Amino acid sequence: MKKKWLLGAASVMMVAGLLAGCGSDNGGNNGGNGNANGGATEGNGAQSAGGSDAGSGTGEKIKLTLWGAVPEEAGAQAVLDDWNKANPDIQVEYVRYVNDDPGNLKLDTALLTGQDADLYMNYTLNRLQKRVDAGTAVDLSGSGYDIDGQMGPDAAQWKIGGKYYGIPTKKNMGFIWLNKKMLDDAGLPVPPIDWTWSDLRDYAKKLTKDGVYGLLQHDAMFTATIDGTVAGLGLTKPDGSSNFDNDLWKQQFQILHDMMFVDKSTPEYGEQLTSKMPVDTMFLQGEAAMLSAGEFIFRNANNLKDYPHDFQIAFATIPKVTADQKDYKYAGGLGDVLSVNAKSKHQEAALKFAEWYADGGMLPMASGGRIPSSKSVDNKQAMDLMLKGVEDKYDADSMNKVVFGSFPSFQLAVPQQVLDARKEEYEKYFLNKQDLDTTLANMAKEHEELTKK
Amino acid sequence: MKRRGWVQRQGWVGYAFVLPNMLGILIFLILPALFSFGLMFTDYQFSNPRWSFTGLDNLRRLFGDDNFYDSLKHTGIFLLSVPAALVLAFLVALVLNRSVYLKGLLRGMFFLPYISSGVAVAFVWMLLFQPSHGPINEALRWLGVVSPPGWFADSGSAMYAIDVVQVWFMLGYNMIIYLAALQEVSAEQLEAARIDGASTRTITWRILWPLVSPTTFLLLITGLIMTMKSFALIQAITQGGPSGSTTILSLFVYKTAFSYYEMGYASTISWFLFACIFAITLIQWIGQKRWVHY
């Protein structure tokens, strides 16, 4: 009996198999191939993993991975090539991530696994804070590298809980780029260091012509003045309530609003937002007389081939709101904070690289505007690298005063949620959906609510 | 006894065949879904090892969150694009179902948006809708409109401008499905109606529209689900702005999870989104008896 059943079952299955085979020949084959391929790739995976293990065992070569947002061709690869040539036993590989939400998410995921991310760059205090919370940044206090001594007093803005979790490596700079030719034509001198937004408004008004904006602002600089203002005033008032409704903000917003809608000397907010204006290109093409932006513009401004321009560029500070404003801080300080992943297996080697990078290894990136902050680097050398061949394109006097001058600076320690909520409110004002007083009140309210939690 | 043994054995073989697929679904779909359900009751932040159970705090926070109600409203406006696209697609399909010149070319043109890259399309629309010198506003000004809308640049109109793009996007797909449905309609029925003296209008809305109602139902359900979940289009055009006016639920989830890393709260919002989709589908399923004719 049993055998008969087996036979029956077998024959049924064979017939079924044949039918299936005839019915969907392609499907069957594809399925089979798919499985075979799957097996093969798994095999390969295992092999290559074994291979790399063997490699590290015999040569004792350490392989590190550095994550940064600077494109390879903007000097990052040149930096690593220098290091790799000099240190055959510690090879560093570069992974470029884009400094936006998806990019940072990718980095944070890699950091958690501890694989393929030994060193990484932080660009904002917010992000570094998250990484410290996650336990993926090594406390560098005990490393023996004197960050305060090497980088100067501004470095302390990057301390979290009194400790360094990364080495600030470059000078951050934010200023107003001026088209000197347009200034001269309008009979305007290069503005003084302590100019105000009212002065800026006058300048912009006089410089606005058909097809030329008086002022353009890069996204990153839009809040430079209000941030610098609360950095001095304090984020909260003495009674603990939010300082986001202070009178200086009100004045600055009002001036900017007037520039957009009364003077028309700067693009209307909505238009700039949705047309994704390439502000740097526009400035370099002579479509704007002034540009509020950071040092990252040097990358394009020095590139006369793709961005040809015949005018000299002069510099001014990002103005304060009123002449008697006290404690105004300037966009700047230090940036590019290099951290070592606490989950990395080669922390010592990583730290060695980080120190080398900070103390001059990063120089090939100077041409893109990244001036090392370490005192071990000759400032003159970095400047020469940055301005090589284009010295005559800049107004030396204002450059020395503004770009290489030193100003009280800040790093804003405000959570991203608060910044986004603030943006949502001031956007309503600049889109004429909400009056200024309501806007300020809402910003303060949101700030209090979000930080209460 | 023996009979059951055989059945059991064959059953085992069957399970073995579906196992690889089921394993994939289990690992990549069901487990993460269960995991996110669990996250709902925690204050877990991505990458932060410290977290605790917070019970229903996330839900409480959700229903007290103005941003949530705003995004719910924006989702509602966004969903308007689904019926709009359906009706338009039906009309286009009607025309293209008759003998018109360049029928093939026109069908292709209407279908083109559906197969083009979403992000590229987004940039084209941004140029078209550019408020000061975009072609659409130039044309409106030429027609005598003094202050044309700011489209994406204005928090009042941005969501509707997105609707326009979404309708344009869905039109081709809906049209193709409708075309197929219209070709199923038997010529005899239409002839009979015409002999009885029915006008084109009557034929369209009293005969054709009910006859394709199963198609409408299918497109409505899938359209609503797709639209509620859709994300790329808005992310590419406005990133939820200006001043949050195009932040629909799915963008709200994205921002909370991947910008603020608040995974617990983000899970709560996504489960709410799921509940919405489920409820809408259920209501339609029940409501279909009233207007869908098989």
Q: In DSSP terms, which residues pair with A90 in a beta bridge?
A: A62
The mean pLDDT of B14-18, rounded to a whole number, is 85
With an 8 Å Cβ cutoff, are B48 and A130 in contact?
Answer: yes
Whether the CB of A102 is below 8 Å from some CB of chain B: the reply is: yes
Q: What are the C-alpha distances in Å from B157 to residues A435, B161, B241?
A: 19, 6, 11
Write out the two tokens for A437. 């007083």
CB contact under 8 A, A424 and B50: no
For A:47-66, CB contacts with B below 8 A are: none
DSSP state of B116: S
Q: Answer whether A134 touches B (CB < 8 Å).
A: yes
Q: Give, as one character, the DSSP assignment of residue B146.
A: S
Cα of first residue to Cα of last residue in chain A, in angstroms, is 75
Q: Determine whether the interchain pair B258/A101 forms a contact, defined as Cβ–Cβ distance below 8 Å.
A: yes
Q: Do A274 and B261 touch (CB under 8 A)?
A: no
pLDDT of residue A121: 94
Cα–Cα distance between A235 and A422 in angstroms, integer? 13
Site from A264, A275, A417 to mutate, B interface, most B CB atoms within 10 angstroms: A275
* Per-residue model confidence (pLDDT) at position A40: 34
The reply to whether residue B242 touches residue A134, judged by beta carbons under 8 angstroms, is: no
The residue in chain B having the minimum alpha-carbon distance to the alpha carbon of residue A100 is B259
Query: What distance in Å separates residue B2's CA from the closest CA in chain A?
Result: 8
Query: Are A230 and A246 in contact, with CB atoms under 8 Å apart?
Result: yes
A237 Cβ under 8 Å from any chain B Cβ:
no
Q: Between residues 360 and 399 of chain A, which touch chain B (CB distance below 8 Å)?
A: none
How confident is residue B5, by pLDDT bands cut at 50, 70 and 90?
low
> Under an 8 A CB cutoff, do A108 and B244 touch?
no
Query: Would the CB atoms of A271 and B131 count as touching at under 8 Å?
Result: yes
**B163-192 per-residue burial string, b: 16 or more CB within 10 A, e: under 16:** bbbbbbbbbbbbbbbbbebbeeeeeeeeee
With contact defined as beta carbons under 8 Å apart, do A373 and A168 qualify?
yes
- pLDDT, one tens digit per residue, over B241-285 is 788 889 999 999 999 988 888 899 999 999 999 999 899 889 888
- Helix (H), strand (E) at residue B209: helix B209-211
DSSP letter for each residue of B147-208: S---GGGSTTTHHHHHHHHHHHHHHHHHHHHHHHHHHHS-HHHHHHHHHTT--HHHIIIIII
The answer to whether the beta carbons of residues A343 and A113 sit under 8 Å apart is: yes
A108, A79 Cβ separation under 8 angstroms: no
Of A135, A270, A271, the CB nearest to B49: A135
H/E run at residue B92: helix B81-97
Provide the 3-class DSSP secondary structure of residue B45. Answer: strand
Q: Which residue of B has its CA nearest to A427?
A: B243
Chain B residues near residue A134 by CB distance under 8 angstroms: 47-49
Bond from prior residue into A88 cis (ω within 30 degrees of 0):
no
- Which residue is listed with tokens 């001014």? A316
Q: In this predicted structure, what is the pLDDT of residue A18?
A: 41
- For tokens 């799957």, the residue is A38
Q: What is the pLDDT of residues B40-50, one digit of tens each?
A: 898 888 878 88
Chain A residues in contact with B150 by the CB 8 A cut-off are: 270-271, 274, 431
| CA distance readout (Å), A420 to A60, A250, A446, B84, B247 | 47, 18, 10, 33, 13
Q: What band does B23 get if pLDDT is binned at 50, 70 and 90?
A: very high
pLDDT of residue A5: 53
Are A271 and B129 within 8 A, CB to CB?
Answer: no
How far apart are alpha carbons B178 and B188 in whole angstroms? 19
What predicted TM-score, i.e. pTM, was given to this entire model? 0.79
* Beta carbons of B153 and A274 less than 8 Å apart: yes
* A448: contact with B, CB 8 A cutoff: no
Contact A437, A429 (CB under 8 A): no
In B, what residues contact A, Cβ < 8 A? Answer: 2, 6, 9-10, 45-50, 126, 129-132, 150-156, 238, 241-244, 255, 258-261
On chain B, the residues whose CB falls within 8 A of the CB of A109 are: 47
Which residues touch A212 (CB under 8 Å, ≥6 apart)? Answer: A182, A286, A287, A288, A289
Which among A112, A420, A433 has CB closest to B47?
A112
Closest-CA distance of chain B to residue A111, Å: 9
Cβ neighbours of residue B71 closer than 8 Å, sequence gap 6 or more: B247, B248, B249, B251, B252
Set of chain A residues whose Cβ sits within 8 Å of the Cβ of B156: 433
Task: Tell me how crowded residue B109 is: count the other CB atoms within 10 A of its CB.
Answer: 11
- Per the listing, tokens 């503005």 go with A191
Q: Does A101 touch chain B (CB under 8 A)?
A: yes
Output A375-379 pairs: Cβ under 8 A, ≥24 positions apart. Answer: A375/A149, A375/A150, A375/A151, A375/A152, A376/A150, A379/A404
What pLDDT score does B4 carry?
61
- Tell how strand A62-68 and strand A90-96 pair up: parallel
Query: In this complex, do B48 and A134 lie within 8 Å of one another by their Cβ atoms?
Result: yes
Residue A365 has which token pair?
């990136």
Q: Which residues, in sequence order, are CB contacts of A264 under 8 Å at separation 6+?
A: A208
SS3 B239: coil
Query: To probe the interface with B, which of A341, A431, A452 has the most B CB atoms within 10 Å?
Result: A431
Q: Do B131 and A428 touch (CB under 8 A)?
A: no
Tens of pLDDT, residue by residue, chain A (453 residues): 444 555 455 444 444 444 443 433 333 333 333 333 333 333 333 333 333 333 344 457 889 999 999 888 888 899 999 999 999 999 999 999 998 888 999 999 999 887 789 999 999 898 999 999 988 999 998 788 888 888 888 888 899 988 999 999 998 888 999 999 999 999 999 999 989 999 999 999 999 999 899 999 998 889 999 999 988 888 988 888 899 999 999 999 999 999 999 999 999 998 888 777 889 999 999 999 999 998 888 888 988 889 999 999 999 999 999 998 888 988 888 989 999 999 888 888 999 999 999 998 898 888 888 888 888 888 788 888 888 888 889 998 898 888 888 888 888 888 888 999 999 999 999 999 899 999 999 999 999 988 876
| Minimal C-alpha gap between A100 and chain B (Å) | 9
Distance CA A176, CA A373 (A): 21
Distance, CA of A414 to CA of A244 (rounded, Å): 12
The 3-class secondary structure across chain A, one letter per residue, is: CHHHHHHHHHHHHHHHHHHHHHHCHHHHHHHHHHHHHHHHHHHHHHHHHHHHHHHHHHHCCEEEEEEECCCHHHCHHHHHHHHHHHCCCEEEEEEECCCCHHHHHHHHHHHHHCCCCCEEEECCHHHHHHHHHCCCCCCCHHHCCCHHHHHCHHHHHHCECCECCCEEEEECCEEEEEEHHHHHHCCCCCCCCCCEHHHHHHHHHHHCECCEEEEEECHHHCCHHHHHHHHHHCCECCCCCECCCCHHHHHHHHHHHHHHHHHCCCCCHHHHHHCCCCHHHHHHCCCEEEEEEEHHHHHHHCCCCCCCCCCCEEEECCCECCCCCCCCCECCCEEEEEEECCCCCCHHHHHHHHHHHHHHHCHHHHHHCCCECCCCCCHHHHHHHHHCCCHHHECHHHHHHHHCCCCCECCCCCCHHHHHHHHHHHHHHHCCCCCHHHHHHHHHHHHHHHHHC
Please give the single-letter amino acid code of residue A164.
Y
Of A5, A131, A427, the CB nearest to B243: A427
- Is A133 within 8 Å of B152 when comparing Cβ atoms? no
Q: Which two tokens stand for residue A391?
A: 């010295």
Q: How confident is the model over B114-148, as pLDDT tens digits?
A: 888 878 888 888 889 888 888 898 899 889 888 88
Chain A residues with CB-CB distance to B243 below 8 A: 423-425, 427-428, 431, 433
Give the Cα separation of A315 and A104 in Å (integer). 32
Q: Do A28 and A21 contact (CB within 8 A), yes or no?
A: yes
Q: What does the pLDDT read at residue B259?
A: 87
Give the chain B residue nearest A106 (alpha carbons). Answer: B258
Mean pLDDT of B191-199: 88
- Given the structure tokens 């055998």, which residue do they identify? A3
The model's pLDDT over B111-120, given as tens digits with 9 standing for 90+, comes to 888 888 878 8
Are A433 and B132 within 8 A, CB to CB?
no
DSSP class of residue B53 equals B
Q: Do A431 and B243 touch (CB under 8 A)?
A: yes
CB atoms within 10 A of CB A416: 18
The residues, ordered by sequence, that sit 6+ positions from A155 with a Cβ below 8 Å of its Cβ are A147, A148, A164, A168, A334, A373
- The C-alpha atoms of residue B262 and residue A125 are separated, in whole angstroms, by 18
